[in-house]
C-alpha cells in the first residue's frame, strides 16, 4: 500500500543518511586516533539501536498524519507533511554536520552546552580562519538542504490509489478487505515504531550506554546518534538546575559528602609565606596543561621558563583543573567553586551576585583588586563576572594597544604583560606601603589559531605555548628585579588543559601546573599532595590567617590537619572525573557508563563522584530572579 511504502521510504532515507553521517564523522576525525575498518563497522553496529530509535521518533508524527489519508483520501499530504519533513530533516542534518566538524576541537558530541557559548561568536572567528568557517558552514547547509529536499520529494501529493482500486472492485470481497488490511498494517507499523523508539533492536534498550563498546572514545562517540544526543541533552538541561543529577538517595548523598568535605580546614600544618599580608599576583595560563610541562612529564623543551621557575618556589606536582573551558576554570580558581557539567556559573547572571571570590575577601582586608585580560572581556561574560566579584577590569579596550599590535584575540601575551607590569608599579605607588594589592591576569596566546610573533619550535602548537612561556618568564624576570618582588606572592596555574594529542576521557587533560614564587615565599619545596583548582583559594587564605570556611564551602586548605582525603573532581559536558590516592574513575554523565577505572574498578570512587555531582547541584548559587 502506498502509505506504507512512503513511510518505509522516508525511514530508509533518514536511516541511510544517519549511517552515512557516521562514516563521515569517523573519516573527518580520523586524525584524532587510529581505528581499523573493522572497528568502524563495530561502532556503526553498536549505535544502530540509537539510530533506529531516533529515526522512529522522527517518522512517527508523519505516519500518524499519513494514517488520516485512509479516511480522507484527498488530503494534500505533501502540503501538510512536507514542511515538517523539510524543517525537521534540515535541523537533523545541521546537527549531524555540526557534530562532525566541531568534534575536531571539542572532542565531545554536540550538546545543549554549545548554546551558552553562542553569545560569544567572536571566539569561533578568532579560533579559525574565515575560509574554514565559511566552507564548513557551506557544506553543512548544502547537505542539509539536499536531504530536506529529498524528504519532500518522496512525499506523495495524495494517497488515494488504494481507495480508487477498491471502488473498481466493488463487486468483490476485496472491496472490504483492502482498507481493513491497510488499517491493520498501519497500526502494526505504529506499534513497531513505538517499540523501536524505546528498545531499538535486538532487545537492547535504546539508551547511550549501549553505544559504549570500545576503549577508544572516538568510536563510542561515533556510535551515539548525534541528533538523539542533542535532543536528550536539551531536555535534560531544561530541568531546573536543582533537579539535575539525582544519582542516589539524598540521605546517602549527604552522608558520603560529609565524609569527604571537611567543614573546617582553616588550620595550617606547614607555613609557605614569610608574611601574612603579601601583595598577590595570580597568572592564569591559557590551556597550559601538564602535557606541555616537561617537569610534570610533558613535552620536552616547550616551556623551559616555567620549568625553571617551578624550581624557585613551591611546586605542586599533583594539581588538577576542574573543567575544560576558561569560564569554568576561572570561577574555580578565583571563587573556589567546583565546575558543573551542564552549566557555567560565569555565564549565568543569576549566580554572579552570590559568588564569593578571593578579590572580595581580600578587599575586606584592605587590598585593591585588578584583573588584566589582553582580549575582549565581554566574551563568555568575563567582564560581568570580574566586576561582580570585586575586580577592576583591564582589557583590550583600556590598556592602550595600537591596532598594529593586536592579533585575532587582542593584545598578545608580550604586550599585555608589559602593560600589566607598568600598571602594577603604578598600583604600588598609588597604594603606598601600607595598602597591599591583588592583581590577577590571564594569558591568551597559547590558543588557536596559534599565530604568535615568535619562532623557536617547528611545531606550530608547541611554538605558541613556548611563546607564552617566554612572555611569562620575561615578565617574572623583570618583576623580580623591582622592590615589589620582596613582598610578592605569585601564583601560576592553568585554566585547563588542551586536547592536543588528548581527548577529554584521558585524565591527563586535567592535570595542570601550579606553583608559588616571589619574595613572600619562605623556601623552595615540592608537594605531591593532590590539590584541585577550587582548593587554591582556601589554601592561600589559610596561609594568610584569613577565615574561609563560611564563604568558600567548596574550597579546602590542603595544609589542614582535616585534609585527610585528598581528591580532585573534574568535569566537562559529557563526563566527570574523580582522582584520589587509589586511582581515577571517569563516567559519562548522561548514560552513567564508566569510561575509565584506573588501576581497577572502585565503588568508593564511583560513590564519591556521584555524591559530589549531586550535591553540587543541590547547592548551586542562584538568585530568585
DSSP string, 53-94: HHHHHHHHHHHHHHHGGGT-TT--HHHHHHHHHHHHHHHHHH
Q: What is the pLDDT of residue 162?
A: 44
Helix (H) or strand (E) holding 3: helix 2-28
pLDDT for the residue 414: 95
- Range 365-388 average pLDDT: 94
Helix H or strand E encompassing 598: strand 594-598
Q: Which of the listed ranges 343-347, 408-412, 471-475, 497-501 does the model predict with the highest average pLDDT? A: 471-475
203 or 439: whose pLDDT is higher? 439
pLDDT at 273: 97
pLDDT band at 10 (very low <50, low <70, confident <90, very high): confident
Residue 196 is predicted with a pLDDT of 58
Query: What are the Cα distances from residue 511, in Å, to 139, 298, 534?
Result: 37, 10, 14
Tell me the mean pLDDT in the region 302-323. 98
Mean pLDDT of the chain: 87
pLDDT attached to residue 623: 64
**DSSP 8-state code for residue 270:** S
Cα distance from N-terminal residue to C-terminal residue, the chain: 56
Are 534 and 570 in contact by the 8 Å Cβ rule? The answer is: no
pLDDT tens across 231-267, in order?
888 887 778 887 888 899 999 999 999 989 888 999 9
Q: What is the reported pLDDT for 159? A: 61
pLDDT at 174: 46
Q: Check whether 128 has a pLDDT greater than 80.
A: no
SS3 472: helix
User: Which pLDDT score is estimated for 570?
Assistant: 97
Instruction: Give the lowest-confidence range in 87-91, 202-206, 240-244.
Output: 202-206
600 burial level (CB within 10 Å; 0-12, 13-18, 19+): exposed
0.85 exceeded by pTM: yes
Q: Which pLDDT score is estimated for 237?
A: 76
pLDDT at 171: 41
Give CA–CA dist 344/327, Å, rounded: 7
Predicted confidence at residue 197, as pLDDT, reads: 54
Q: Which domains does the chain show, CATH number per domain?
A: 2-237 (no CATH), 252-618 (3.40.720.10)
The number of angstroms, rounded, from the C-alpha of 607 to the middle of its chain's C-alpha atoms is: 23
Model confidence at 18: pLDDT above 90: yes
Question: Which pLDDT score is estimated for 327?
Answer: 95
Higher pLDDT, 529 or 9: 529
Residue 187 CB burial class (10 angstroms; 0-12, 13-18, ≥19): exposed
Q: What is the pLDDT of residue 186?
A: 54
- What pLDDT sits at residue 184? 54
pLDDT of residue 624: 58
The residue written with cell numbers 524505546 in the block is 198
Least confident window among 111-120, 553-562, 613-622: 111-120
Which uninterrupted H or E stretch holds 579? strand 575-580
pLDDT of residue 118: 61
Q: Using CA atoms, how far apart are residues 218 and 207, in angstroms rounded to an integer?
A: 18
Q: How far is CA 331 from each of CA 111, 242, 244, 423, rounded to the nearest angstrom?
A: 22, 19, 21, 24
Q: Is 242 left (phi over 0), alpha (psi -120 to 50) or beta?
A: alpha
**If you compute the radius of gyration of the chain from its CA atoms, what whole number of angstroms results?**
29
Residue 577 main-chain phi, psi, to 5 deg: -120, 140
Reported as a single tens digit per residue, the pLDDT across 600-623 is 999 999 999 999 999 999 988 876
Q: Give me the helices (H) in 389-530, please.
A: 413-431, 460-480
Average confidence (pLDDT) over 204-212: 73
Predicted pLDDT at 335: 98
Stretch 57-70: mean pLDDT: 80
**Residue 303 pLDDT more than 60?**
yes
Q: What is the pLDDT of residue 172?
A: 47
Residue 173 in this model has a pLDDT that exceeds 50: no
Per mean pLDDT, which of 181-185, 537-541, 588-592 is the most reliable?
Answer: 537-541
Q: pLDDT exceeding 90 applies to what percent of the chain? A: 58
Return the minimum-mean-pLDDT range out of 138-142, 273-277, 286-290.
138-142
Handedness of CA 513, 514, 519, 525 (dihedral sign): negative
Segment 426-466, tens digit of pLDDT: 999 999 888 999 999 999 999 988 999 999 999 999 999 99
pLDDT of residue 64: 79
Amino acid at each position: 500500500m502506498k502509505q506504507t511504502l512512503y513511510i518505509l521510504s522516508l525511514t530508509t532515507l533518514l536511516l541511510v543518511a544517519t549511517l552515512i553521517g557516521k562514516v563521515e564523522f569517523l573519516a573527518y576525525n580520523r586524525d584524532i586516533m587510529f581505528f581499523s575498518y573493522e572497528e568502524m563497522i563495530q561502532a556503526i553496529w553498536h549505535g544502530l539501536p540509537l539510530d533506529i530509535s531516533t529515526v522512529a521518533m522522527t517518522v512517527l508524527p508523519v505516519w500518524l498524519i499519513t494514517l488520516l489519508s485512509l479516511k480522507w483520501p484527498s488530503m494534500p499530504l505533501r502540503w501538510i507533511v512536507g514542511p515538517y519533513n523539510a524543517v525537521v530533516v534540515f535541523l537533523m542534518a545541521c546537527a549531524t554536520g555540526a557534530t562532525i566538524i566541531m568534534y575536531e576541537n571539542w572532542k565531545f558530541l554536540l550538546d545543549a552546552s554549545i548554546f551558552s557559548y553562542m553569545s560569544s561568536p567572536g571566539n569561533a572567528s578568532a579560533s579559525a580562519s574565515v575560509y574554514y568557517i565559511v566552507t564548513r558552514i557551506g557544506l553543512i547547509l548544502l547537505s542539509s538542504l539536499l536531504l530536506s529536499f529529498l524528504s519532500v520529494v518522496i512525499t506523495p501529493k495524495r494517497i488515494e490509489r488504494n481507495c480508487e482500486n477498491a471502488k473498481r472492485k466493488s463487486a468483490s470481497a476485496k472491496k472490504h478487505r483492502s482498507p481493513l488490511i491497510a488499517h491493520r498494517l498501519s497500526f502494526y507499523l505504529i506499534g513497531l515504531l513505538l517499540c523501536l523508539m524505546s528498545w531499538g533492536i535486538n532487545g537492547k534498550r535504546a539508551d547511550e550506554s549501549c553505544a559504549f563498546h570500545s576503549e577508544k572514545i572516538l568510536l563510542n562517540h561515533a556510535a551515539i546518534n548525534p541528533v538523539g544526543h542533542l535532543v536528550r541533552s536539551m531536555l535534560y538541561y531544561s530541568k531546573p538546575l536543582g533537579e539535575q543529577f539525582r544519582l542516589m538517595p539524598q540521605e546517602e548523598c549527604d552522608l558520603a559528602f560529609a565524609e569527604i568535605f571537611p567543614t573546617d580546614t582553616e588550620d595550617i600544618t606547614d607555613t609557605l609565606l614569610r608574611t601574612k599580608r603579601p601583595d598577590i599576583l595570580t597568572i592564569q595560563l591559557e590551556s597550559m596543561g601538564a602535557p606541555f610541562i616537561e617537569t610534570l612529564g610533558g613535552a620536552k623543551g616547550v616551556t623551559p621558563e616555567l620549568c625553571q621557575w617551578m624550581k624557585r618556589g613551591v611546586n605542586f606536582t599533583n594539581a588538577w583543573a576542574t573543567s575544560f573551558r576558561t569560564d569554568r576554570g576561572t570561577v574555580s580558581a578565583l571563587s573556589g567553586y567546583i565546575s558543573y557539567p551542564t552549566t557555567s556559573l560565569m555565564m549565568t547572571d543569576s549566580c554572579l551576585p552570590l559568588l564569593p571570590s578571593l578579590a572580595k575577601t581580600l578587599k575586606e582586608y584592605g587590598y585593591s583588586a585588578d584583573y588584566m585580560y589582553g582580549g575582549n572581556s565581554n566574551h563568555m561574560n568575563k567582564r560581568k563576572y570580574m566586576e561582580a566579584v570585586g575586580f577592576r577590569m583591564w582589557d583590550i579596550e583600556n590598556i592602550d594597544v595600537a591596532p598594529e599590535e593586536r592579533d585575532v584575540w587582542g593584545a598578545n601575551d608580550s604586550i599585555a604583560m608589559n602593560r600589566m607590569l607598568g600598571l602594577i608599579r603604578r598600583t604600588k605607588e598609588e597604594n603606598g606601603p601600607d595598602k597591599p594589592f591583588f592583581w590577577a591576569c590571564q594569558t591568551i596566546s597559547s590558543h588557536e589559531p596559534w599565530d604568535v610573533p615568535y619562532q623557536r619550535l617547528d611545531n606550530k602548537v608547541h611554538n605558541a605555548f613556548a611563546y607564552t612561556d617566554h612572555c611569562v618568564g620575561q615578565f617574572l624576570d623583570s618583576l623580580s628585579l623591582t622592590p615589589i618582588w620582596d613582598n610578592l606572592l605569585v601564583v601560576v596555574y592553568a585554566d585547563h588543559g588542551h586536547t592536543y594529542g588528548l581527548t577529554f576521557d584521558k585524565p591527563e587533560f586535567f592535570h595542570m601546573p601550579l606553583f608559588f614564587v616571589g619574595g613572600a615565599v619562605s623556601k623552595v619545596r615540592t608537594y605531591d599532595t593532590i590539590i584541585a583548582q577550587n582548593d587554591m583559594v582556601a589554601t592561600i587564605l589559610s596561609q594568610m590567617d584569613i577565615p574561609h570556611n563560611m564563604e568558600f564551602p567548596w574550597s579546602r586548605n590542603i595544609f589542614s590537619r582535616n585534609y585527610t582525603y585528598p581528591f580532585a573532581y573534574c568535569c566537562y559536558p559529557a563526563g566527570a572525573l574523580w582522582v584520589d590516592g587509589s586511582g581515577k574513575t571517569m563516567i559519562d554523565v548522561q548514560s552513567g557508563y564508566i569510561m575509565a577505572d584506573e588501576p581497577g574498578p572502585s565503588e568508593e570512587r564511583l560513590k564519591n563522584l556521584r555524591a559530589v555531582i549531586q550535591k553540587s547541584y543541590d547547592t548551586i548559587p542562584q538568585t530568585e530572579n
